[in-house]
Amino acid sequence: MASKWHYVVMQCDLWEEAISARADGEPDTIDARLLEAHLSGCVSCRTFAENIHVLRRAASVDLAASMPDLSAHVVKTARATDRGSVWWVLRLGLAVVSAQILVFSVPALLLGHSQGSNEHSARHLGSFAVAYAIGLMVVALRPAKARGMLPLTASLAGCLAVTAVIDIAQGRVPALTEFRHIPEVIGLVLVWVLATPKRFATMPKKAGSQRLHVLAQPESHTQRTS
pTM of the predicted structure, to 2 decimals: 0.49
Pick out the chain residues at pLDDT < 70.
1-11, 25, 28-29, 53, 55-67, 78-85, 112-118, 198-226
Q: What pLDDT does 58 receive?
A: 63
> DSSP letters along 134-162, please?
HHHHHHHH-GGGHHHHHHHHHHHHHHHHH
For the stretch 56-62, contacts whose Cβ atoms lie closer than 8 Å and that sit 24 or more positions apart, written own/partner, are 56/23, 56/24, 57/222, 57/224, 58/224, 58/225, 62/220, 62/222
Note the pLDDT of residue 134: 93
Spatial contact of 168 and 178, defined as CB atoms under 8 Å apart: yes
DSSP 8-state assignment for residue 15: H
pLDDT of residue 126: 83
Separation CA 207–CA 82 (nearest Å): 17
Q: What is the DSSP letter of 44?
A: H
Helix (H, G, I), strand (E, B) or coil at 45: helix
If phi > 0 it is left, if psi is from -120 to 50 it is alpha, else beta; for residue 157 that is alpha
| Per-residue pLDDT at 210 | 47
